Amino acid sequence: MITTMPPEESGRSSYLPRKRHLENPSEEQSKRSRLYQNANVIPHGWLDCPRFGHEIGPIIPSKVPLSESYNDHLPPDKRYTFRQLLTNNKRNKLGLVIDLTNTTRYYNPSTDLRREGIEYVKIRCSGRDSVPDNVSVNTFVHEVNQFERRNFSKKSVLVHCTHGHNRTGFMVVHYLMRSSPLMSVTQALKTFYDARPPGIYKSDYIDALYSFYHETKPESAVCPPTPEWKRSEENESLSLPLSSPCVPLVIKRMSNDDVLGDEIPYGQEKCYQEFCYEMMNIKIEGRSSSLQFPGSHPVSLDREGFQLLRRRYYYATWKADGTRYMMLLTREGCYLIDRKFRFRRVQMRFPCKPHETKVNDYTLLDGEMVVDNFLDGQGKPRQARRYLVYDMVAVNGVPVSDRPFSERWSVIDREVIRPRNDEKKVTKGYRYEMEPFGVRIKAFCLLSSVEKKVFNELIPSLSHDSDGIILQGWDEPYVYQRNQALLKWKFLDTIDFLFEVGRDGRYLLFLYENGRNKLMEGHTVEFRGDGWEEPGRYSGKLLECFWDKEDKVWVPMRVRVDKSQPNGMGTFRGVMKSINDGITKEVLLKEIKEIVRLPMYVERIRVDTLAAERRRHGNRRG
């Protein structure tokens, strides 16, 4: 007996393209729901849907092969099983099957595939009217890439959803976009269309692809009509609600704590983590599963720090107060790396040089994500998220961490910022303004201009918060984690404590030492001001606190959601030393005034000023 299937997979379904005349729709509905409970139902439209398409790289797009238990329900010429596929497909043996259906009933991967030595990956995608989510897309692309890396005998990857058009096409287009950077969505859709006509035939899937890759959909781009084999049965199916109910559009204000990007598979994250360590020449000791965020971290400026400023040549910049991320640019995508050393994929574009078809590949940057608040031309308040790049660890797979900072900074400009800005001027289809954030290089000023430039001009004119200044050694290498030569001076010295309410109701503060949290006996916390009325709510959270010298208490300023550990004792000692040394802004500026009069500074500032003037002239002429 041939039966129809429930709308679990394709939305609407039936096997025979028969027109039914419904006298009583509810009676018809209940008849159908009885049929839907049947096991060997043939997916709607499946029967006349072509079996598979041409290869696209290693991928064969296909409709779902049905297990042999379906054969009794199918005319012999319509059967399509893995056994058939493996026997007929001698030329190109299968190595991997990626199943995008949302059910397990079409075949048994253990008997049909694994026994034959074929790998099987299931990525459940519900289909219907929603496109596969971003995390599933990341998983799909990762699985194909991983397979290609270990696929020495050039086997193929069969990718199927129910019919091998919409979900399959969607994933294949993502794969193409990520393996051929700077390919356009239109080209990728055409590649899929050529291999498996009529390609993707759901317009919302096509729109989602253009929107994901920040491209304008050309007016000439038309969505192919639903194929005949699918349409004939569609007409007689029950009407199901197609679109989700209207959700009122809420424009959310941006904050530094927003989670950006999409999760990536664990294996991919591990590889990238190890790459970061390799680029910084850090040995992985013990389990590589617990790698720590390796980003360079400044220490608080104290009296000893002044000695360092005298001996080595420093520049200064404002300390942007947003969220710290390192950023890895690869041809497959761009990844934000947070303080917990987790990677999330964001859709961004980083071309190498104008008009080249290459993008940055394995370039590792360091910077701060900020939210700029400003008024637009009409005086309306606006927000823009920006990533301020302030350092670089690797460029196109080549480590630069041991190069002097001045060199790393010019490489950021030459290899990352300028090519992007140049391409922005010429690109037609790609819409940089649709990216989740802008990208800028951070400006560094001569130490002699700290007061005038950094404190009096830059900081007051910023559209984001700044909590101090950074003193950056101009000749220094990039140093992993705590960097004694990278100095920070803050308007308010702060420490991130873990706060707990003890069993006796006591407020407890903890710091991190030797792999565990250490109770800071004798340290008192005092919650002050609006929003801090119920301290119990913050138990178990990391609180950034400033030190009130008068009352000798720690006062919470904000909850740190971007970190998983309180500050270490080293940081704490550094901050306390800086507080006790009493380095106020006045003390800092007085000291710097003396430092820049030292012969070494006088000479280097002269040379750098001349070089900057020459560059400005050159730019004007160019």
- Binding residue (CB under 6 A) for ligand GTP from 160, 442, 464, 523: 442
Residues 576/431, Cβ–Cβ less than 8 Å: no
- Binding residue (CB under 6 A) for ligand GTP from 368, 372, 423, 476: 368
Among the listed ranges 16-24, 242-250, 262-270, 319-327, the one in contact with ligand GTP (CB under 6 A) is 319-327
Q: Min. distance of Cβ 343 from ligand GTP in angstroms?
A: 17
Residue 19 annotated as binding site: no
- Which residues are CB-neighbours of 490 under 8 A, at least 6 positions away? 300, 319, 467, 468
Residue nearest to ligand GTP (CB): 324
Q: Min. distance of Cβ 588 from ligand GTP in angstroms?
A: 16
- Binding residue (CB under 6 A) for ligand GTP from 160, 488, 523, 577: 488
Q: Which DSSP string do the residues of 399-423 spell out, in sequence order? A: E-TTS-HHHHHHHIIIIIIHHHHHH
Alpha carbon distances (Å) from 203 to 184, 222, 231, 337: 17, 8, 15, 34
Based on CB atoms, which residue is closest to ligand GTP, 486 or 509?
Answer: 486
Phi, psi of 17 (to 5 degrees): -75, 60
Residues 354/422, Cβ–Cβ less than 8 Å: yes
- Helices 166-179, 203-212: crossing angle, 10 deg rounding: 20
Q: Min. distance of Cβ 56 from ligand GTP in angstroms?
A: 42
Residue 115 annotated as binding site: no
Residue 490 annotated as binding site: yes
Q: Min. distance of Cβ 317 from ligand GTP in angstroms?
A: 5
Residue 367 annotated as binding site: yes
Alpha-carbon dihedral of residues 570, 575, 578, 582, nearest 10 degrees? -150
Active site residue 319: yes
Residue 521 annotated as binding site: no
Considering only residues 494 through 513, tell me which ones interact with ligand GTP, judged by CB under 6 A: 496
Sheet holding 445-446, edge to edge: 297-300, 482-490, 466-473, 314-320, 445-446
Q: Min. distance of Cβ 582 from ligand GTP in angstroms?
A: 19
Is 611 exposed, middle or buried (CB count within 10 Å of its CB: 0-12, 13-18, 19+)?
A: exposed
Residue 380 annotated as binding site: no
- Determine if 319 is a binding residue for ligand GTP (CB under 6 A): yes
- Binding residue (CB under 6 A) for ligand GTP from 390, 474, 554, 572: 390
Residue with tokens 């890895």: 328
Q: Min. distance of Cβ 335 from ligand GTP in angstroms?
A: 17
Among the listed ranges 29-37, 49-57, 232-240, 317-325, the one in contact with ligand GTP (CB under 6 A) is 317-325
Separation CA 397–CA 546 (nearest Å): 40
Q: Which of 161, 276, 352, 545 is catalytic?
A: 161
Give the containing element (helix H, strand E) for 363: strand 363-375
- Binding residue (CB under 6 A) for ligand GTP from 123, 320, 326, 371: 320
- Determine if 567 is a binding residue for ligand GTP (CB under 6 A): yes
- Which residues are CB-neighbours of 230 under 8 A, at least 6 positions away? 44, 45, 49, 163, 201
Residue 561 annotated as binding site: yes
Based on CB atoms, which residue is closest to ligand GTP, 169 or 298?
Answer: 298
Separation CA 504–CA 502 (nearest Å): 5
The beta-carbon contacts of 38-41 under 8 Å, at least 24 apart in sequence, are 38/3, 38/5, 39/105, 40/3, 40/69, 40/70, 40/72, 40/73, 41/3, 41/4, 41/5, 41/6, 41/13, 41/15
Residue 489 annotated as binding site: yes
Among the listed ranges 45-53, 318-326, 355-363, 446-454, the one in contact with ligand GTP (CB under 6 A) is 318-326
- Binding residue (CB under 6 A) for ligand GTP from 13, 156, 317, 449: 317
Q: Which DSSP string do the residues of 146-213 spell out, in sequence order? A: HHHHH-TT--EEEEESSSSSHHHHHHHHHHHHHHSTT--HHHHHHHHHHHSTT----HHHHHHHHHHT
- C-alpha neighbours within 13 Å on the C-beta side of residue 366: 25
- Determine if 298 is a binding residue for ligand GTP (CB under 6 A): yes
Q: How many residues bind ligand GTP (CB under 6 A)?
A: 15
- Binding residue (CB under 6 A) for ligand GTP from 486, 545, 592, 596: 486
- Determine if 99 is a binding residue for ligand GTP (CB under 6 A): no
Separation CA 164–CA 167 (nearest Å): 7
User: Which tokens hold the place of 446?
Assistant: 């001569």
Residue 127 annotated as binding site: no
- C-alpha neighbours within 13 Å on the C-beta side of residue 191: 21
Based on CB atoms, which residue is closest to ligand GTP, 62 or 317?
Answer: 317
Separation CA 203–CA 273 (nearest Å): 38
Residue 105 annotated as binding site: no
Residue 433 annotated as binding site: no
Q: Min. distance of Cβ 302 from ligand GTP in angstroms?
A: 14
Q: Which of 155, 230, 319, 577 is catalytic?
A: 319
Alpha carbon distances (Å) from 603 to 316, 461, 610: 17, 30, 11
Based on CB atoms, which residue is closest to ligand GTP, 269 or 338?
Answer: 338
Q: Min. distance of Cβ 367 from ligand GTP in angstroms?
A: 8
Considering only residues 47 through 86, tell me which ones interact with ligand GTP, judged by CB under 6 A: none
User: Which tokens hold the place of 94?
Assistant: 């299968």
- Determine if 403 is a binding residue for ligand GTP (CB under 6 A): no
Query: Which residues belong to the active site?
Result: 161, 319
Annotated binding site: 324, 339, 366-368, 488-490, 558-563
Residues that bind ligand GTP (CB under 6 A): 297-298, 317, 319-320, 324, 368, 390, 442, 470, 486, 488, 496, 567, 571
Annotated binding site for GTP: 324, 339, 366-368, 488-490, 558-563
